[in-house]
């Protein structure tokens, strides 16, 4: 697939099955992600690969975090959190590593991490896999951050659920470009 077709047709799905990207595919995915625009070459991002038994362990972290937020959490709700990471054969946790810099503000580093996430999703799609970028409450919870071993200057940009598309792709939205662009002056 040529680059422009890939950019125009990337299509998330929440219905993912095995196989997920293998080590060779992950190497390509990280290579693509690492071409994210990056002011000052700070490399303000890193990734955790969650697969195999680690998916269930991540589910335990999500459930424990939910119990920390709400000690009265029902068992059914705890189980719901526990199941969340099992929706894909592999998850990439995208982490923004924020550095104190005199010229490069936090937002630029967060945007760079977001571009790295987008690069990873595009590369996965180019390799015949697909995925979906999720955040939700788990991306903004200090208990989850600690469970994943984040440092105090790090934050979760997203969980990229990745695997093989299960079913047909959803229709791509048709956007009218004049709704979101115009010539200035
Ligand atoms: C930062 C960010 C966080 C997101 N979080 C979620 C999420 O928690 N749950 C979800 O269903 N979609 C989430 N999405 C949206 C999906 O990743 C996806 O963009 C959406 O389903 C539309 O599909 P498309 O990207 O193929 O158009 C998020 C997207 C972004 C950029």
Whole-number Å distance, alpha carbon 1 to ligand 1 midpoint, is 23
Under DSSP, the state recorded for 145 is: H
The alpha carbon of residue 137 and the mean position of all alpha carbons in its chain are separated, in whole angstroms, by: 14
The predicted structure's pLDDT at residue 132: 98
SS3 assignment, position 125: helix
- H helices of the chain, in order, are 3-9, 23-33, 53-69, 75-83, 106-126, 142-147
Which pLDDT score is estimated for 155?
98
Q: Which atom of ligand 1 is nearest to the CA of 132?
A: 17
12 lines ligand 1 (CB under 6 A): yes
Q: Which two tokens stand for residue 166?
A: 């299960």
What is d(CA 135, CA 50) in angstroms, rounded to the nearest whole number?
15
Q: Kindly report the pTM of this predicted structure.
A: 0.98
CB of 34 within 6 A of ligand 1: the answer is: no
Report mean pLDDT in 10-residue bins for the chain, 185 residues.
95 97 98 98 98 98 98 98 98 98 98 98 98 98 98 98 97 94 95
Q: For ligand 1, say whether the CB of 161 is within 6 Å of any of its atoms.
A: no
Fold topology of 15-167? NADH Oxidase (3.40.109)
Per-residue model confidence (pLDDT) at position 153? 98
DSSP labels, 165-184: E-SPPPPPP---GGGT----
- Taking the centre of ligand 1 as the mean of its atom positions, its distance from the CA of residue 132, in whole angstroms, is 6
The answer to whether the beta carbons of residues 168 and 24 sit under 8 Å apart is no
- CB count within 10 Å of CB 159 equals 27
- Antiparallel, parallel or unpaired: β 90-97 and 16-17: unpaired
pLDDT at 47: 98
- State both tokens at 105: 């503000």
Q: State how far the Cα of 143 lies from the Cα of 91, in Å rounded to an integer.
A: 18
Residue 89 contacts residue 95 (beta carbons within 8 Å): no
Closest Cα to residue 159, out of 68, 82, 58? 58
* pLDDT value of position 1: 83
The domain limits of the chain are: 15-167
Q: How far is the CA of 134 from the centre of ligand 1 (A)?
A: 6
């Amino acid at each position: 697939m040529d680059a422009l077709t890939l950019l125009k047709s990337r299509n998330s799905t929440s219905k993912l099955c095995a196989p997920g990207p293998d080590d060779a595919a992950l190497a390509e995915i990280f290579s693509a992600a690492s071409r994210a625009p990056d002011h000052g070459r700070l490399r303000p991002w890193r990734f955790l690969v969650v697969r195999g038994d680690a998916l269930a362990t991540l589910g335990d972290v999500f459930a424990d975090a939910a119990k920390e937020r709400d000690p009265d959490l029902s068992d059914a709700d705890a189980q719901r959190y526990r199941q969340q990471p099992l929706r894909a054969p592999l998850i990439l946790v995208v982490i923004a590593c924020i550095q104190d810099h005199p010229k490069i503000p936090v937002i630029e580093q967060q945007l760079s991490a977001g571009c790295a996430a987008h690069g990873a999703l595009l590369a996965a799609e180019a390799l015949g896999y697909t995925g979906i970028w999720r955040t939700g409450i788990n991306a903004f919870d200090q208990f989850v951050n600690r469970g994943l071993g984040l440092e105090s200057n790090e934050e979760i940009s997203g969980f990229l659920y990745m695997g093989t598309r299960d079913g047909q792709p959803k229709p791509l939205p048709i956007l009218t470009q004049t709704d979101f662009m115009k010539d200035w002056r």
